Amino acid sequence: MIYLNPSLLACNFFELEKNLDILKEKGVKYLHLDVMDGNFVPNISFGPGVIKQIRKKYPEFILDCHLMVDKPENIIDSILDAGADIITFHPEATFHPHRIIQTVHSHGKKCGLALNPSTSLECCKYILDDLDIILIMSVNPGFGGQSFIESQHLKLREARNMLDNYNSDAILEVDGGVKLKNVEEVINSGADLIVSGSDVFNENIESQIDMYHEIFKKFN
Ligand code: DX5
Ligand code: ZN
């Protein structure tokens, strides 16, 4: 199944509730929450406090927390306490990726690795059994509204092959520069969880979601 995973980063925060209500009405299941520390990436977004409030008001969303932070081990507990369902983090940000995965699993939550455009898939290979998600970054992390880096189609295809070869049912997530105009190509490359920020949270949010869902029908 292909799912839309709107990235809150692009939302007008003065209209947060209105926009989240629209997602809910449209049957969107996932919500992508980008946590940035101004260190691992040159930007700061929001953290556990905001996630907790969203969790409380919208228990139905699967909260997919993408941690773009150094030493994610320092913040994992508070992100889990806030109500995350999925945590993805960047392997470059910690000495012990596998230990973090174990910690997240010990709380009964899902865990994934997020790979920067230049990061090799190899870092997933030996821990594939423990991964619920591989997130392919199709932009350099830190900002919304960037252009899709075309070389990441190759990584998506290789990731899809790797998952198939190892009989893994991990989700293949793609994040950055995904829009209505390229989403079919991204799905054809193997992605099944589609993050989109600036192309969803604009003045036509309802019709944008409808158009994404219409495209997904061809695959689901
Ligand atoms: C970038 C974030 C993305 C971002 C995507 O660092 O991880 O989730 O919000 O935004 P768009 O879809 O606008 O590229
Ligand atoms: Zn993200």
> Could you tell me the pLDDT band of residue 114, with boundaries at 50, 70 and 90?
very high
The average pLDDT across 80-97 equals 98
Is the pTM value of this prediction over 0.95? yes
Q: Which atom of ligand 1 is closest in space to residue 200's alpha carbon?
A: 12
pLDDT tens-place string over residues 161-184: 999 999 999 999 999 999 999 999
Look at the chain and report how many structural domains it folds into: 1
The mean pLDDT value of the chain amounts to 98
6 pocket-lining for ligand 1 (C-beta < 6 Å): no
CATH number at residue 22: 3.20.20.70
- Hey, which residues are catalytic here? 34, 175
pLDDT tens-place string over residues 19-43: 999 999 999 999 999 999 999 999 9
DSSP-derived letter for residue 7 is B
CA distances 63 to 162, 163, 184, Å, are: 26, 23, 24
**Best of 88, 143, 180 for a ligand 1 pocket test (most atoms within 8 Å of beta carbon):** 143
The average pLDDT across 127-141 equals 98
Query: What is the rounded distance in angstroms from the CA atom of residue 13 to the CA atom of residue 49?
Result: 14
34 pocket-lining for ligand 1 (C-beta < 6 Å): yes
Residue 14 domain boundaries: 3-216
Give the Cα-Cα-Cα angle 125, 130, 132 (nearest 5 degrees): 95
> Could you tell me the pLDDT band of residue 126, with boundaries at 50, 70 and 90?
very high
> Could you tell me the pLDDT band of residue 210, with boundaries at 50, 70 and 90?
very high
- pLDDT number for residue 140: 98
